[in-house]
Amino acid sequence: MMNPQQFADFSTLLDHVFQHSEFYQNKFRAVGLERGDIRTPEDLQKIPFSDKGDLRNAYPLKLMSVPENQIVRIHSSSGTTGTPVIIPYTRGDIQAWAIMFERCYQMAGVTNLDRIQITPGYGLWTAGIGFQAGAERLGAMAVPMGPGNTEKQLQMMIDLKTTVLTATSSYALLLTEEVQRRGLLDKIHLRKGIIGSERWGDKMWNTIQDGLGIQLYDIYGLTEIYGPGISVSCDAKEGLHYWDDYLYFEVIDPETGANVPEGQLGELVITTLRKEGAPLLRYRTHDLTRLIPGKCPCGCAYPRHDRVLGRTDDMTKVKGVNIFPGQIDQVLKGIDGCTSEYQVVIDHADGRDHMLLRFETKQTSCLDELEALVQRTFKTRIGITVGTEALAVGSLPRSEKKSTRIIDNRFH
């Protein structure tokens, strides 16, 4: 439930939205919702969810909720499936985002003496420029590399003695493998890594952390809600702290839309409390996580959510059982000999689903036993029998962008 300060900010935002957001005026009219219907924190439940589909329909600029002379920038989320989503930002939004991002760096112990190598992309994406704005606000030295060009990344890392790496998990893994392969560990000066934008398991975390000899922090965010930097993990590694003076988080059952109890897994839904250019109310992120009850051992008072276990869209039903990629990570991480890299191939033949789990291992012998062990563990933990295939490290595709690990051939 919103606290009094959150509800006060939300009420101000709602006044604004009812008067100036054509997007929400239409949405509210469709369900017959009036401003007077929202008077208490409980009334939040009356507000219909917003979804990425709604935002696509608002293309290009129908989300704009202030006069155009107040918009200073737009960002766009990936248009991998159809129309992209465009989010307009005011100067205030840019500043709010930088404040949140600066807090993320501070949570990770980054200071104005650090040199931050920024490898996420710049441009329409929110990634690179968000890391940059936070670094500049903190007073650290930003090294704006952008993605790719591993050769140059490593050279700058060595020559500039960068101390903080910011990257997607798959690119951090690729850099880790390159540093090791070339024996550069004693030439680099990294001490921290701030890694985000993808779901990544503990095994991948440990591979990067140990491989580079650095402390890692998980950062979360999405373009629709400012961008990365709306939450970050701390030294206690018990979830991510989010900035509840800017954002209100709910977790719902993705099937029914009802709030689930604190601590229970579900879909993260975010309401912006102070966003100006394109406020969003009850936005469904499709990210699977849970709110963590109680105070964090690190002492920080900002509330926490768990690491993102997967996407509700990634929920794959195989043989009638819901499977999330995060569960597969957990199966593999519990088994000696398995790495964090895997791929799942699902087919349908003879009236039945067939699932093959291909995973990488450093082991070169006893692969049959390892395959059998993974199969047994999968059956125990997730409840279905799958085929398993052990592969040498490096066999599966690496990507500088989001990895596609589940190949579902059933509907093609």
- Positions 59 through 118 that interact with Zn ion (CB under 5 A): none
Q: Which tokens go with 85? A: 């989503």
Indicate whether 292 belongs to the interface with Zn ion (CB under 5 A): no
Secondary structure of the chain in the HEC alphabet?
Answer: CCCHHHHHHHHHHHHHHHHHCHHHHHHHHHHCCCHHHCCCHHHHHHCCCECHHHHHHCCCCCCCCCCHHHEEEEEECCCCCCCCCEEEEEHHHHHHHHHHHHHHHHHCCCCCCCEEEECCCCCCCCHHHHHHHHHHHHCCEEEECCCCCHHHHHHHHHHCCCCEEEEEHHHHHHHHHHHHHCCCHHHCCCCEEEEECCCCCHHHHHHHHHHHCCEEEEEEEECCEEEEEEEEECCCCCCEEECCCCEEEEEECCCCCCECCCCCCEEEEEEECCCCCCCCCCEEEEEEECEECCCCCCCCCCCEECCCCEEHHHCEEECCEEECHHHHHHHHHCCCCEEEEEEEEEEEECCEEEEEEEEEECCCCCHHHHHHHHHHHHHHHHCCCCEEEEEECCCCCCCCCCCCCEEECCCC
Among the listed ranges 177-185, 190-198, 288-296, 386-394, the one in contact with Zn ion (CB under 5 A) is 288-296
State in angstroms the smallest separation of the CB of 266 from Zn ion: 22
Minimum CB distance to Zn ion smaller for 234 or for 323: 234
Among the listed ranges 166-174, 185-193, 232-240, 355-363, the one in contact with Zn ion (CB under 5 A) is 232-240
Minimum CB distance to Zn ion smaller for 244 or for 347: 244
- Positions 150 through 209 that interact with Zn ion (CB under 5 A): none
Which listed residue (1, 72, 236, 392) binds Zn ion by CB under 5 A? 236
Site string for Zn ion, 242-261 (x = CB under 5 A): --------------------
Minimum CB distance to Zn ion smaller for 258 or for 301: 301
Minimum CB distance to Zn ion smaller for 236 or for 407: 236
Which listed residue (234, 288, 331, 386) binds Zn ion by CB under 5 A? 234
State in angstroms the smallest separation of the CB of 294 from Zn ion: 11
State in angstroms the smallest separation of the CB of 20 from Zn ion: 37
State in angstroms the smallest separation of the CB of 236 from Zn ion: 4
- Positions 2 through 61 that interact with Zn ion (CB under 5 A): none
Minimum CB distance to Zn ion smaller for 219 or for 338: 219
Minimum CB distance to Zn ion smaller for 94 or for 300: 300
Radius of gyration of the chain (CA): 22
Indicate whether 300 belongs to the interface with Zn ion (CB under 5 A): yes
Indicate whether 296 belongs to the interface with Zn ion (CB under 5 A): yes
Minimum CB distance to Zn ion smaller for 24 or for 101: 101
Which listed residue (298, 315, 367, 396) binds Zn ion by CB under 5 A? 298
Minimum CB distance to Zn ion smaller for 298 or for 396: 298
Among the listed ranges 118-126, 147-155, 289-297, 322-330, the one in contact with Zn ion (CB under 5 A) is 289-297
| Residues engaged in binding Zn ion (CB under 5 A) | 234, 236, 296, 298, 300
